[in-house]
Structure 1
Amino acid sequence: MSKKLAVAILNWNGKNWLEKFLPSVVQFSQDADIYVIDNLSTDDSISFLQSQFPNVKIIKNDKNYGFAGGYNEGLKEIKNEFYCLLNSDVEVTENWIGPILNLFEKDSSVSAIQPKILSFNNKNYFEFAGAGGGLIDNLGYPYCRGRVFDDIEEDKGQYDDETEIFWASGCCLFIRSKDFWEQKGFDERFFAHQEEIDLCWRLINSGKKIFYTGKSKVYHVGGGTLNKQSPQKTYLNIRNNFSMLLKNLPFPRLIWLIFFRLCLDGAASFYFAYKNGVSHFWAVLRAHFGFYGQAFGTWKLRQKYQKDKFYQSKWLIFKHFL
């Protein structure tokens, strides 16, 4: 008989991560079914799982669909009431599931939840991808409680609360399966990066809530698929952010905001070139043209209603850098 929760770990050539972190998932997830969704790995991930973790269920995708498509494909075969989409480079802790399920049961309008996400390599500090819960500013720049751009806070208990947030990190995303599928899952055109923010934004526009709880915590390595200094990561983040804005911003705000952001990010490309190399300048340029190429299809995906108040901070980029 299936349990309420399914922990689903997406894998692509990540045998080393599974070897290191799957034991903690198995040890502390006795109230959940555990799945590994494999994106057609060419290493020995599958044989390792079959020999070392025979009770972990394996779903084999027929190709590498990326993060967004990989989960969309694999989750079709999982029928549990709740999903936990968990990165393979995450160490979970004792009683990490209980507070999440309690929140779901207290409020049926809560669609997605994330725990406190700390750095595996520096466990007293928050981790870049999610930290103390995801927010967004009035220009559409994502940030977190505990992480603004590249500045990371030390965990001193300041985010041990339970509170509504704007987006829950895809590195450890709990979500009601019915809400995931009502939104038709992730936007597969994103491939990877910010697809979870887009999904959470769509859920909010449909009247749902996104929550954070500091009563549950995990430790994330980060950068297991694409390093922060990768030009491809720069490309995906910028292209996907623009597509997310076009899809979810209320009209007519989106007209001036996207134009302003295109100008800002164009100027920022010179900073990226100075800091990380000229390949990042070209990554920004490619991202703009990638956004233009998707724009018509993105417009067709807009929902009927968009919430007018979508942000928690104003002009964050100017306050932070200037």
Structure 2
Amino acid sequence: MIDVSCILINYNTSQYTIDCIKSIIDNTQNSITYEIVVIDNASRFEDYSILKTQVDELNAKQVKLIRSKLNVGFGAGNMLGVQYAEPCKYYAFINNDTLQVSENCLYHLKAFMDQTTDAGVCSPQMLDEHKKFRVTIDHFSSIQREILRRPLLETLFPSTYLNRKKTYDKPTKVHYVQGSFMFIDAKDFDDIGGFDTNLFLYYEESDVSRRLLKQKNKYTYLIPDLEYIHYKSASIKKNIHIKIEQKIALLYYIKKHFGWLHHKILIIYYSIRYFFTSIIKPSYWKLFYIFLIGAPLSKSLKQQQKINQQ
């Protein structure tokens, strides 16, 4: 059994992926055993070809590249990586648009998890491309968070809703960390069934942390003295379709964890909100319509993916 299986997803961003792989190799010493499993999530064939050529040139035996002919999204893409992973003690789900900053980061994350029996997930502090602080933690989604919003909850209930923009100086229990770097106990992850593949792009990390807490009594930790750079959504361009996907995932998450009533209240809330927004911004009519029909998973981008024949 190896110590860590790092799982990366490439989607039309081969140069980011190569840079990420190199940064992991360059910053990981022989003090741990690890591998890097790269899932190409049905990228354009030209991008995949570039990636394969550069991976071959690395001649690194710990790197595996697997090509999926269907873009299955974040959660399912990572689960495909899990299928190809060697038996390991920890999974490190790492976005391809990241760079390791802290030397031997994987070793130190492993050491923390080994010593912290109630830890299910941990993450280094995220930085932007200029090595400036970037928000890494967040609060579990709920009616309170969606309607009252984060700043008010952080002010009214600071012990429950930690300040996301604060710089912490020691390992800290949080609701969840960004999915760009999640270091997870492999047995706990497998026990809860891994990522929910109904979620295509959003809320996967929140869902996993919530299930680890509910089913295994395992917490998520921020490790602020370790750091990584995240270029932030290099392969996802924000538009109305991405906003729709985000809300579909949110409503699915709410119904899954809180039930029908909470789901219905949020549908009504967002229907009213986006009706008025769409009067000013006509592109939001599409978002209003999605709530009008109940934000079903059948409208997810997942259902629109086509098999890549190359």
TM-score, length of structure 1 as denominator length: 0.75
Over residues 15-64 of structure 1, what are the superposed CA-to-partner deviations in whole Å (9 max), with x where a residue is unaligned? 12123333212101233322212223322222221123533222333432
The one-letter amino acid of 2:114's match is E
For 2:141 and 2:77, how far apart are their aligned partners in 1?
29
Specify whether residues 246 and 92 from structure 1 end up closer, same or farther in structure 2 by C-alpha distance, changes over 3 A only.
Answer: same
Greater relative CO, 1 or 2 (CA 8 Å, sep 6+) = 2
The DSSP-based 3-state class of the residue aligned with 1:97 is helix
Q: Are the aligned partners of 2:21 and 2:36 in contact in 1 as well (CA < 8 Å)?
A: no
Could you tell me which amino acid in structure 2 is paired with residue 169 of structure 1? Answer: Q
Whether the aligned pair in 1 keeps the contact of 2:136 and 2:177 (CA below 8 Å) is no
Q: CA deviation at 1:259?
A: 3.1
Aligned to 1:139: 143
Deviation per CA, 1:156-208: give whole Å up to 9, x if none: x7223211111122110111111222222211121111111112111111122
Larger helix share, 1 or 2: 2
In structure 2, distance between residues paired with 1:76 and 1:287: 35
Displacement, 1:116? Answer: 0.7
What's the offset of the Cα at 1:257? 3.1
SS at structure 2 position matched to 1:170 = coil
Asked if the contact 1:99/1:213 (under 8 Å) is kept, the reply is no
Letter in 2 for 1:259: K
Q: Which residue of 1 aligns with 2:226?
A: 216
Q: Which amino acid aligns with 2:14?
A: K
Question: Residue 259 and residue 104 in structure 1: after superposition, are their counterparts in 2 closer, same or farther (change >3 A)?
Answer: same
RMSD over aligned Cα atoms: 2.8
1:74 aligns with 2:81: yes
State how far apart, in whole Å, the 2-side matches of 1:272 and 1:28 are.
47
In structure 1, C-alpha distance between the alignment counterparts of 2:210 and 2:98, rounded to whole Å: 24
Which runs of no fewer than 5 residues in structure 2 stay unpaired?
A: 155-162, 299-310
In the superposition, relative to structure 1, how do residues 154 and 235 fare at CA in structure 2: closer, same or farther (>3 Å)? closer
SS of the equivalent of 1:25 reads helix
Cα pair 1:99 1:215 within 8 Å, conserved: no
List structure 1 runs of 4+ shifted beyond 4 angstroms: 142-145, 270-275
- Note the residue ranges of structure 1 that are not aligned, 5 or more in a row: 295-322
Secondary structure of the equivalent of 1:81? strand
Q: 1:141/1:48 Cα in 2 relative to 1: closer, same or farther (>3 Å)?
A: farther
Q: CA deviation at 1:260?
A: 3.0
Give distance in 1, aligned partners of 2:27 and 2:277. Answer: 41
Shift of 1:137: 5.9
Question: Is the contact between residue 246 and residue 258 of structure 1 (CA under 8 Å) also seen in structure 2?
Answer: yes
Aligned pairs (5 A) from 1:115-154 = 115-120=124-129, 122-126=130-134, 131-136=135-140, 138-139=142-143, 141=145
The whole-number CA distance in structure 1 between the counterparts of 2:68 and 2:242 is: 23
Q: 1:293 to 1:34 in 2, by over 3 A?
A: closer
| Pairing partner for 2:186 from 154, 159, 177 | 177
* Structure 1 residues 105 and 255: alpha-carbon distance in aligned structure 2, compared to 1, 3 A threshold: same
What residue is the counterpart of 1:286 in the other structure? 290
User: 2:63 matched to 1:59?
Assistant: no
Question: Which residue identity is paired with 1:35?
Answer: V
Q: How does 1:1-322 map to 2 (within 5 A)?
A: 2-30=1-29, 31=32, 32-41=34-43, 42=45, 43=47, 44=49, 45-55=51-61, 56-78=63-85, 79-93=87-101, 94-120=103-129, 122-126=130-134, 131-136=135-140, 138-139=142-143, 141=145, 158-206=167-215, 207-227=217-237, 229-249=238-258, 254-270=259-275, 273=278, 277-286=281-290, 289=293, 291-292=295-296
Aligned length: 275
In structure 2, C-alpha distance between the alignment counterparts of 1:124 and 1:220, rounded to whole Å: 10
**Does the CA-based 8 Å contact 1:114-1:133 persist in structure 2?**
no
**Distance of aligned partners of 1:171 and 1:290 in 2 relative to their CA distance in 1, 3 Å threshold:** farther
| CA distance, structure 2, for counterparts of residue 173 and residue 163 of structure 1 | 15
